[in-house]
Amino acid sequence: MLARFVIMPAFALALAAANDPAKQEWRKLFNGRNLDGWTPKINGFGLGENHARTFRVEKAAMKVSYDGYTEFGERFGHIFYKDKFSYYRLAVEYRFVGDQAPKGPGWAIRNSGVMIHSQDPATMGKDQNFPISIEVQFLGGLSNGKPRSTANLCTPGTNVVRDGNLFTPHCLNSTSKTYDGDQWVRVEVEVLGSERVRHVIDGESVLSYEQPQIGGGAVNNFAPESKQDGKLLSEGYIALQSESHPIEFRKVEILDLEGCKDPAAKNFKSYFVKENKGRCKY
């Protein structure tokens, strides 16, 4: 007996794939070709001024480079994505390369990061060193046999809650292993508005905290109205850091965790955490 094959029309196959509620729809924030959607803000320069081509794209990677600097000169910089986010999972793949910029601070060797829940870069002062934000700090090992974790927490102009208490020190180490050399490292950050943030490497949680909020120090020359201490941070911008050591980013992508939670909708996703009925499509 001949086997019978049923050929589904292309539109039916596409519809079935689109309606898979478990399929994760990651969105690329960095397209691998150019800096479209991204805007630099470097200490001492206006928004959009890419001093000495600090941020550039080469060989499908976003590079932070200092070959145009005679010395670093406290030119801490950040490059901001154009949209704000609230409930999401962010993935960044990075590696440290080369030598630190001349006269970069000692603590910034093989040091960078991604800022989340950041203030709007348009509200930053020209001479503001860091945005008011939560920093997921990236550290590279120093190949000296000593542990140096990555996916740590730092808090420029912010605080968080840990174990029910306000945590005010500037930085907190994660439980990650040390990554020496120029190997690529993938860090994921799960952000649930003002509720909780979790840092993940290789599927393992290495740090978590709650109630990110404005407060604390470690940020200079900000507009007073931007720093409302005690205000919970439920959303904000994402920015990659320039902190004096060359670094490359080959992937920056996001999985939205806010959306339609009605199983009857065409765009229902089982992994959504926050309901947004306005996004439902029927």
16-31 pLDDT, tens digit per residue, is: 456 799 999 999 999 9
Q: Are 41 and 80 in contact (CB under 8 A)?
A: yes
Mean pLDDT score, 46-73: 97
Q: Is the pTM of this model over 0.85?
A: yes
Mean pLDDT score, 140-145: 97
C-alpha–C-alpha distance, residues 100 and 178, integer Å: 19
What is the total count of domains within the chain?
1
pLDDT of residue 22: 95
Please indicate, yes or no, if residue 111 is contained in any of the structural domains: yes
Domain that holds residue 172: 23-275
Please indicate, yes or no, if residue 56 is contained in any of the structural domains: yes
Q: Are 173 and 198 in contact (CB under 8 A)?
A: no
pLDDT of residue 69: 97
Please indicate, yes or no, if residue 2 is contained in any of the structural domains: no
Please indicate, yes or no, if residue 146 is contained in any of the structural domains: yes
Please indicate, yes or no, if residue 80 is contained in any of the structural domains: yes
Q: 4 pLDDT exceeds 90?
A: no
pLDDT of residue 9: 52
What one-letter code names the amino acid at 280?
Answer: C
CA atoms within 13 A on the CB side of 236: 29
C-alpha–C-alpha distance, residues 29 and 33, integer Å: 11
Please indicate, yes or no, if residue 7 is contained in any of the structural domains: no
Please indicate, yes or no, if residue 51 is contained in any of the structural domains: yes
164 by Cβ neighbours in 10 Å (0-12 / 13-18 / 19+) ranks as exposed
**In the chain, what percentage of residues exceed pLDDT 70?**
94
* CATH code of residue 103: 2.60.120.560
Please indicate, yes or no, if residue 66 is contained in any of the structural domains: yes
